[in-house]
Structure 1
Amino acid sequence: MAVSSTAARSILIRLQETMAARTHAQAKLNQVVEIIGEELDSEVCSIYLLREGMLELYATRGLNQAAVHVTRLGVGEGLTGTIAQNIETLNLDEAATHPEFQYRPETGEEKFHSFAGVPIVRRERAVGVLTVQHTEPRRYAEVEIVALQTVAMVLAELINNAGMVDAEALDEDSEARTGTEVVTGLKLVKGLAIGQAVFHQPRVTIEQTVAEDTEAERQRVYLAFDRMREQIDQMSNQAEFGVGGEHEQVLETYKMFAYDEGWARRINEAIDSGLTAEAAIERVQQRTRMRMREISDPLLQDRMHDLEDLANRLIRIVSGQLGTAAQKGLTKDTILVAKNLGPAELLEYDKRRLKGVVLEQGSLTAHVVIVARAMGVPVVGRIRNLRGLVRDGDTLLVDGDAGTVTMRPGHGVLDAFEARVTASKRREASYARLRDVEPFTRDGERIEVMMNAGLRDDVAMLQVTGADGIGLYRTEFQFLVSAQLPQRERQARLYRDVLDTAGRKTVIFRTVDIGGDKSLPYLRSDVAKEDENPAMGWRALRLALEREGLMKVQARALLEGAAGRDLNVMFPMVSEPWEFDAAKEVFTSQIAFLKQHKHPLPNAIRYGVMLEVPSLAETLDLLLPRLSFVSIGTNDLTQFLFAADRANPMLAERYDWLSPSILRFLRRVVQSCVGYKIDLGVCGEMGGRRLEALALLGIGIRRLSITPASVGRIKELVRKVDTREITEAMSGWLANPPEDLRAELQAWAEAREIEVE
């Protein structure tokens, strides 16, 4: 069958006339399945509605009438139940081959082979299922599925108005709880926050789904698009993070979707089928949600979330229901609750009142996380069924360090959490007082305490924390927040701005470490797609050397950005000396190019490597004469040494950084650098933990590069340590390892009144 937009509109008009007639509900649905069956030339058309928690066959054309109100399926049971549970579309040429297929003899459906079904969705919940079947095995055309989805959307409104589904199925607060409850999610941005729950987005109610004048609806959408684009442009101009920052690039990606012609075209096609402007936007949004469930790539999922964010904004504009929580204004300390959140929408909130964010979705690579981190707002994501768990106004405790959210805490729990917040602020204040104090040990050794950065705004933390410099600037962050490969001029501007902000303090730029868990949709490798373990695959320097153009552009951008200053360049994931030589040669060729064209160059260039791959330690002596510095990347090194993927929750915390095997390996690297003019340090989370930092000092590490939040606490630790004592203790433990080295080290520290927790 060929289903045109005219035919779809004809169905909608006939459905509306039927539901407006003065007949009882059953008669109306009996007519509805006949209309759909006739218009779509379908042998079977059936409607299942959610009643008392079960999907009940409510009307059918083509199946046995005796099965009506008799056949019932649980949500998740059979093909129909699977559609309702997953809120997904099924399109099968042979229904019996699907693993969830169940045969119900009372329906007489054994002669039908092909099957298609779409959920009937109301307020993002499945309240029923619309199915069609044919005897001949065939998959339904896309245009047929679109017609079914459009009809299902109108049916949702009609059956709701007729009171044909359980009221509790549509009650968004029906599952809300009243007692204290603690849920665990994904740690997105660290920090502690207390506030009252405010839902980011009040639900927009679509009053009418069938259009009377399609041209008028189209004009409403055009005007709404214009207004939405103006809002996005205003946000770009008013963003408080400075011109040219990563947040501006996030908004540029956001703007790309706002001007996407394909999105506007799909909404227009939905209007052509007979839907109002609001219903057309919601119709396209429903299809987007279904597609999101089929996408496994986290970066693509995040981009789809950006599109849904814009769809929510557009539907509010076109309906005149503009009251988001941000636009109404926050009046109290707030924990923002949302299914997901776009970066532009987060920027609309008053930072003085916004204390934390809890998301039903969200991921570490999402744009909103980058913005939240810059705002200093803790975020916990991946909390399922948020609308069922939380009511507007509930007190929430957000622990971004542990990834937990406590709902409706009792007085005792609230008092304890407030004490933690107060203690945390007190500790941070004491660390802040050490900003201008140099970290000398008790025996007079000067320890370099540097910080890691990746965003332009992170660099300002140099002055706040008093760090000695930036021991690791992750240049790939600029690539991760961009919709396309950043141009050389933009890269150079970023590097120049970072050096300007850092002033006389050292900045070590690590060349791009992409691939693995930091894949870019606009830069993919055929080899990387086949990686079974991406963390150990085609990533970092391996990928950059393969994509020579990528590295050439970054090399020239770094050289141009550092013109007239010192440039420190570090190559990630070097496995063998020849890889360092190949990477350095890219810089050498770009230096020659710039000299030839009389461009200014850096005053001096220092090259170094990240020691993350154990094999490099075996040939480090061959490379040391050509290096200025070595940074040990403990995060990756640990997983490679133990063959334990840190992204695997079963293994992430199984192996201890204070294992003798790790510490012996690190000490051997320290000893191999003796006699060379090499700056040796540790980059990574290990150096930011007080007990682990104590162990590193004991094996000879004198430079640490850690998160800005850890700088104060590590400077405070350093001032309490006598390196001669801890070196002697570590030498004994590593020569004859105790059963629990961590416990021994902790007891040693406590005996000297060194706080390590």
Structure 2
Amino acid sequence: MNAPARVSAGAAARDILRRLHDVMASRSTAQAKLNRVVDIIAKSLTSEVCSIYLLRDGVLELFATHGLNQSAVHVTRLAVGEGLVGQIAEHREPLNLAEAKAHPDFAYKPETGEEIFHSFAGVPIIRQEASVGVLCVQHADPRQYEDIEIEALQTVAMVLSELISAAGLIDKSALGSVRAHEGPLRLDGMALVDGVARGRAVFHQPRVVVEHTVAEDVEVEKERVVAAFDQMRRQIDAMLGKAEFAAPGDHDDILETYKMFAYDEGWIRRITEAIDSGLTAEAAIERVQMKTRARLRGARDAIFAERLSDLDDLSNRLLRLVSGQIGTAAEMGIRRDTILLARNLGPAELLEYDRRYLKGVVLEEGSATSHVIIIARAMGVPVLGQVKNIRAQIAEGDTLLLDGARHTLFVRPAEAVTEQFTEQIAARARLQAEYAKLVGKPAETVDGQRISLFMNAGLRSDLPHLEATGADGIGLFRTEFQFLVSATLPRRERQTRLYEAVLAAAGERPVTFRTVDIGGDKAVPYVSEQRREENPAMGYRALRLALGREGLMKVQARALLDAAAGKTLNVMFPMVSEPWEFEAARQIVEDQRRHLIDRGADVPAQVNYGAMLEVPALAEVLDTLLPMVDFLSIGTNDLVQFLFASDRSHPKLAERYDWLSLSVLRFLKRVVDAADEANVPVTVCGEMGGRPAAAMALLALGYRRLSITPAGIGPVKAMIRTLDLADLTEAMQGWMAAGRNIRAALEGWVEMHGTVIPGR
């Protein structure tokens, strides 16, 4: 579209809003208003057809049209998902087609007389985040509508949302206002922060419904937005200045990024431009939020989803301020044990809640590495994510029981369920008390074999678990969390402070730092060459990316060396596939060490280098690799999915392939035998070592070092201290030689020998 046409389209949007304002203020019937609306839009956009479909009893009904046969009004109906209109309603995304009939979802309705029209563009009409209708235009000539025309349609759709709501034409079922269930209910989700919780349901935020969309005076609307921005920024500055956030912690990068968004001048400029088109301050904020949401939702990378969560948080906060509404439960104050419900949360919003009463969180969205989950983990608040359609199934004040171990939320539970849950909490407390008694005792088998139990970590908030569990050290410190929560590459000084804190917390106990594992499904915005990948777990990530971005790895190497000055530094490289990759990574760190020595700077007293065996191919070149390394770690999570060519995040495959299958155990046996022969220490990292039954198998294969989650140390130590390892090792050799079902054989052996398997 050339410049004059662009100006013309922008002017058309403003003209449409001015004229719609007059329509909405008139005393006409709702049908008459909609008839005038389609005429106005068609004329302003020089489009031959403009139609409005509204959701009625779950079906999209043609309510008004300019250009199609009038006899089709209230006759033509489409199911949600049917035809182009149905697709727009279902996915809540615009469609813009030069040739509508070429689209696979095109559905011809002969009564409309639309066969002469080729081009088609449509946008959803949204109310309270639900699709309640569709606004579309058509033209006889094949052409795609310009982006600015689509934006004009989306803006008009906001105004239509207000009009049809005022006219009582909204299909209430679309808004989830009717609960599908009234009695006891069990909802499944994903345990993002483990734990159990009991409390009353409290919704984080009632929806702020924009009631007035067309501005009377744009200058007044701009002043309202500026004032709201100033107030929001003061709130955030005051919150970040609280003493509880002054100490270093995992929240540092998260909240700094959050603050950066709040001070983004581009954001306020986009809102101001939306006001210039004729929208009120509230409508402009929502319009920009919807546009940003649509753009970021198109990106599959988790990092963009997290940015969207932060921006949603800020947009909602700004919307409440500009409308004068005190909306969140945190602002109103909670005074009883509460389980908080939300579509998603920003990290700052969670931090505003009174921790005495906040017992758990349930999210419709959420991911294990999202900002709010990192904060919740630090607060010790259990979180269940991916629980769908919360508002349609839970009412404010309902009794809720959250069980992270079973990935379950019980809603309005029956008395028997409540009693069982109470006993479960008591049993969990008894087990924890038993594990606490083991903290000062060695992980030693009945026949005197000493096992080293290390813990996995990745956050400052994990460090107190060293003392609480009595772990022998940190066998795996994942350094990537600091990279994932930052909008820019973390500065070397910030990385150094984190690594110093980890080493200080560990004291004399060893720490193994794994260099950054980003890329693939852990994308970051400051690595430009990342792209969407079909198989992100096997893509351009971890050491592959680090070797391609030497600057990133050099900065991390310097930070690690500076932090460990005068101490022992154990550094491990992830996803090594070939020995030359390990050697290249080691050389980068060594070059930085020599650079520091040449400058007379302090360096670590000793640097030990290790490789993480996750790629099965590496096992075929152990004879070359083992003489190079000081230690070896096995990442069972990735290793097992690569061995089985099975995505462990796929719900139908997650439980399909057993860690205790012969193929896995034979592979692991071959690795530990080779490492023992080369006199190279080998540690198993990952979930497998944290499950007592699987840990038994690993010990029987010859492994003596496990690095597991802090929660797994107590149960695994309890198992070890009741295990006769010599007997089990002999039995395991026989089972593997005979091709037995190892899991079944282990269960039988446990019954005969009395080995403690907590939670079995």
Pick the TM interval, shorter chain: over 0.9
Distance in 2 (CA, whole Å) between partners of 1:160 and 1:678 is 71
Q: 1:197 aligns with which of 201, 208, 214?
A: 201
Q: CA deviation at 1:677?
A: 4.4
Closer/same/farther in 2, CA of residues 344 and 669 from structure 1, 3 Å limit: same
Provide the residue aligned with 1:309 in structure 2.
313
Provide the residue aligned with 2:591 in structure 1.
589
Q: 1:702 aligns with which of 701, 704, 707?
A: 704
Q: 1:386 aligns to what SS in structure 2?
A: coil
Closer/same/farther in 2, CA of residues 492 and 412 from structure 1, 3 Å limit: same
Q: 2:508 aligns with which of 497, 504, 508?
A: 504
Q: 2:424 aligns to what SS in structure 1?
A: helix
Provide the residue aligned with 1:513 in structure 2.
517
For 2:734, the aligned partner's letter is: G
Q: Deviations over 1:174-226 (max 9, x none)?
A: 14421222232233222222222111111223332221111111011011111
Provide the residue aligned with 1:678 in structure 2.
680
**Structure 1 stretches (4+) deviating beyond 6 angstroms?**
none
List alignment gaps of at least 5 residues for structure 1. none
Distance in 2 (CA, whole Å) between partners of 1:475 and 1:649 is 28
Provide the residue aligned with 1:754 in structure 2.
755
Provide the residue aligned with 1:422 in structure 2.
426
Deviates more, 1:1-10 or 1:406-415: 1-10
Q: CA deviation at 1:251?
A: 1.1
Distance in 2 (CA, whole Å) between partners of 1:737 and 1:540 is 36
Provide the residue aligned with 1:660 in structure 2.
662
For 1:620, the aligned partner's letter is: L
Deviates more, 1:126-135 or 1:5-14: 5-14
8 Å Cα contact 2:51/2:137 also seen in 1: yes
Q: Deviations over 1:700-751 (max 9, x none)?
A: 211111001111111221111122222222222222232x211111111122
Provide the residue aligned with 1:85 in structure 2.
90
For 1:728, the aligned partner's letter is: E
Q: Deviations over 1:8-51 (max 9, x none)?
A: 33322322222322232322222222222222222222222222
Q: 1:433 aligns with which of 432, 437, 441?
A: 437
Q: 1:650 aligns to what SS in structure 2?
A: coil
The 5 Å alignment of 1:71-470 reads 71-166=76-171, 168-169=172-173, 172-238=176-242, 240=244, 243-470=247-474
Tell me the C-alpha RMSD between the 2 structures: 2.0
Provide the residue aligned with 1:472 in structure 2.
476
Deviates more, 1:328-337 or 1:617-626: 617-626
Provide the residue aligned with 1:611 in structure 2.
613
Closer/same/farther in 2, CA of residues 640 and 128 from structure 1, 3 Å limit: closer
Distance in 2 (CA, whole Å) between partners of 1:356 and 1:416 is 19
Q: Deviations over 1:86-115 (max 9, x none)?
A: 222121111111222122222222211111
Q: CA deviation at 1:338?
A: 0.8
Q: 1:555 aligns with which of 554, 557, 563?
A: 557
Distance in 2 (CA, whole Å) between partners of 1:104 and 1:643 is 46
Q: Deviations over 1:590-634 (max 9, x none)?
A: 111001111101111122222222333333244434433222222
Q: 1:317 aligns to what SS in structure 2?
A: helix
Distance in 2 (CA, whole Å) between partners of 1:586 and 1:479 is 19
Closer/same/farther in 2, CA of residues 436 and 242 from structure 1, 3 Å limit: farther
For 1:415, the aligned partner's letter is: E
Distance in 2 (CA, whole Å) between partners of 1:22 and 1:282 is 28
Distance in 1 (CA, whole Å) between partners of 2:74 and 2:584 is 73
8 Å Cα contact 2:454/2:472 also seen in 1: yes
Distance in 2 (CA, whole Å) between partners of 1:165 and 1:666 is 61
8 Å Cα contact 1:343/1:367 also seen in 2: yes
Q: Deviations over 1:405-455 (max 9, x none)?
A: 222221112221222222112211221222222222222222111100001
Q: 2:643 aligns to what SS in structure 1?
A: helix
Return the TM-score normalized by structure 1.
0.95
Q: CA deviation at 1:293?
A: 4.1
Q: Deviations over 1:302-349 (max 9, x none)?
A: 211211111111100111102311111122221111111111111111
Distance in 2 (CA, whole Å) between partners of 1:216 and 1:93 is 40
Q: CA deviation at 1:579?
A: 2.3
Distance in 2 (CA, whole Å) between partners of 1:233 and 1:577 is 49
Closer/same/farther in 2, CA of residues 676 and 358 from structure 1, 3 Å limit: same
The 5 Å alignment of 1:705-724 reads 705-724=707-726
Q: 2:244 aligns to what SS in structure 1?
A: coil
Distance in 1 (CA, whole Å) between partners of 2:60 and 2:659 is 53
Q: CA deviation at 1:292?
A: 4.3
Deviates more, 1:34-43 or 1:475-484: 34-43
For 2:554, the aligned partner's letter is: K
Q: Deviations over 1:671-724 (max 9, x none)?
A: 223355432221111111111111112122111110011111112211111222
Q: 1:49 aligns to what SS in structure 2?
A: strand
Aligned residues: 753
Distance in 2 (CA, whole Å) between partners of 1:576 and 1:245 is 36
For 1:755, the aligned partner's letter is: V
Provide the residue aligned with 2:39 in structure 1.
34
Deviates more, 1:169-178 or 1:345-354: 169-178
8 Å Cα contact 1:5/1:272 also seen in 2: no
Closer/same/farther in 2, CA of residues 622 and 294 from structure 1, 3 Å limit: closer
Q: 1:240 aligns to what SS in structure 2?
A: helix
Q: 2:463 aligns to what SS in structure 1?
A: helix
Provide the residue aligned with 1:64 in structure 2.
69
Q: CA deviation at 1:515?
A: 2.4
Q: CA deviation at 1:239?
A: 7.0
Provide the residue aligned with 2:488 in structure 1.
484
Deviates more, 1:685-694 or 1:200-209: 200-209
Q: CA deviation at 1:281?
A: 0.8
Q: CA deviation at 1:472?
A: 0.5
8 Å Cα contact 1:6/1:272 also seen in 2: no
Q: 2:114 aligns to what SS in structure 1?
A: coil
Closer/same/farther in 2, CA of residues 212 and 452 from structure 1, 3 Å limit: same
Q: 1:534 aligns with which of 533, 536, 546?
A: 536
Closer/same/farther in 2, CA of residues 295 and 670 from structure 1, 3 Å limit: closer
Closer/same/farther in 2, CA of residues 572 and 24 from structure 1, 3 Å limit: closer
Distance in 1 (CA, whole Å) between partners of 2:64 and 2:739 is 74
Q: 2:569 aligns with which of 539, 546, 567?
A: 567
Distance in 2 (CA, whole Å) between partners of 1:648 and 1:59 is 44
Distance in 2 (CA, whole Å) between partners of 1:630 and 1:241 is 38
Q: 2:440 aligns to what SS in structure 1?
A: coil
Distance in 2 (CA, whole Å) between partners of 1:412 and 1:447 is 42
Q: Percent identity?
A: 60
List alignment gaps of at least 5 residues for structure 2. none
Distance in 2 (CA, whole Å) between partners of 1:389 and 1:568 is 50
Distance in 1 (CA, whole Å) between partners of 2:170 and 2:682 is 68
Distance in 2 (CA, whole Å) between partners of 1:114 and 1:531 is 32
For 2:439, the aligned partner's letter is: R
Q: CA deviation at 1:271?
A: 0.6
Distance in 2 (CA, whole Å) between partners of 1:24 and 1:511 is 66
Distance in 2 (CA, whole Å) between partners of 1:752 and 1:349 is 49
